[in-house]
Amino acid sequence: MNLLKNCYLCPHKCGVNRYIEKGFCGATNRVRLAYYSLHMWEEPIISGDNGSGTVFFSNCNMRCLYCQNHQISLDGYGKDISNKKLGEIFLDLQKQGANNINLVTPTPYVPQIANVLHKIKNKELKIPVVYNTSSYENVGTIIMMRNLVDIYLADLRYFDDSLGVKYSNCDNYFETATMAIDEMFRQVGTPVIDNGLLKRGLIVRVLILPGHVHDAKEIIYYLYTTYHDDIFISIMNQYTPVLSCKYDNLNRKITEDEYDEVINYALTIGVNNAFIQEGNTAEKSFIPKFDKNVIK
């Protein structure tokens, strides 16, 4: 765990000793967990009928003004647990019938997670591991998860770096994220699907922000011209304003016209492997209740 004594796990490169102080993300040397459960609302090839075994880690290396999970990402809600307990949680979710173990915002805890997975993956733990990330990652950190992660569920939030600074307090987002996504693809390659479930591969999510249709189009164009149909692109309409924001556009949901414009654009340029959302996905009911601690 020496990496935690001079922490450069994420692009902020704080260099702090997490045994005695906190850096940008707010994490200490111990894994902090907010919630874990079977989750039915990921992409269909992730959740399937039984659900994805989501493990929500506390703290985050981004500061998104619109974060749906702000209680855990910004406020640090959660409980410190041992590495041993983390492994037990993975195995408990597998016992419950989870299709996979879905690590949500794992970046600050990669050394601990890797340590746990090295001990149990392909031994007691038989189901795929999903790395669910904002993609604001150092390539070296993603390399640490090689042969431990089967599926990368990655965001590509911004094409325009000024939006990353404005909305998420992160510099050079696009280049940083796309380099990390390149490494993810090198590790897992083209999709492997069995009985309707993704066993290996890369899904990149594009969350359309209100007023930023053009940025979403630029992201989709980049993804398709770079990877074609060797990845899945998940085009999301679920932006939900849960925090009051100084930017008026972030205080509303996206319109049907905005979403349709992005979908039509994706079809026009030839995107085939894509997920789209229908119905009331932009609802607070889809956000887990983190105020009920289920970690014993």
Residue 74: the pLDDT is 84
Question: Is a pLDDT exceeding 60 seen at residue 289?
Answer: no
CB-CB contact of 12 with 62 (8 Å): no
Retrieve residue 242's tokens: 């849960």
Domain count, the chain: 1
**Which one, of 144, 132, 146, lies nearest residue 189 by Cα?**
146
| Residue 153 Rama label (left phi>0; alpha psi -120 to 50; beta) | beta
Q: Is residue 10 part of a domain?
A: no
CB-CB contact of 57 with 109 (8 Å): yes
Q: How confident is the model over 73-99, as a mean pLDDT?
A: 96
Instruction: List CB contacts of 212: < 8 A, sequence separation 6 or more.
Output: 163, 249
Residue 285: the pLDDT is 41
Convert the pLDDT of each residue in 181-230 to its tens digit: 999 999 999 999 999 999 999 999 999 999 999 999 999 999 999 999 99
Radius of gyration of the chain, Cα coordinates, nearest whole angstrom: 18
CB-neighbour burial class of residue 65 (10 A; exposed 0-12, middle 13-18, buried 19+): middle
Q: Is residue 12 part of a domain?
A: no
Q: How does the average pLDDT of the chain come out, rounded? A: 94
Q: What is the CATH number of the domain that holds 178?
A: 3.20.20.70
**Which one, of 59, 35, 41, lies nearest residue 134 by Cα?**
59
Residue 296: the pLDDT is 61
Residue 243: the pLDDT is 82
State the Cα–Cα distance between residues 173 and 11, nearest whole angstrom: 9
Q: Is residue 6 part of a domain?
A: no
* Domain region containing 237: 31-286
pLDDT band at 244 (very low <50, low <70, confident <90, very high): confident
Question: Is a pLDDT exceeding 50 seen at residue 282?
Answer: no
State the Cα–Cα distance between residues 90 and 112, nearest whole angstrom: 13
Q: Is residue 72 part of a domain?
A: yes
Q: Is residue 281 part of a domain?
A: yes
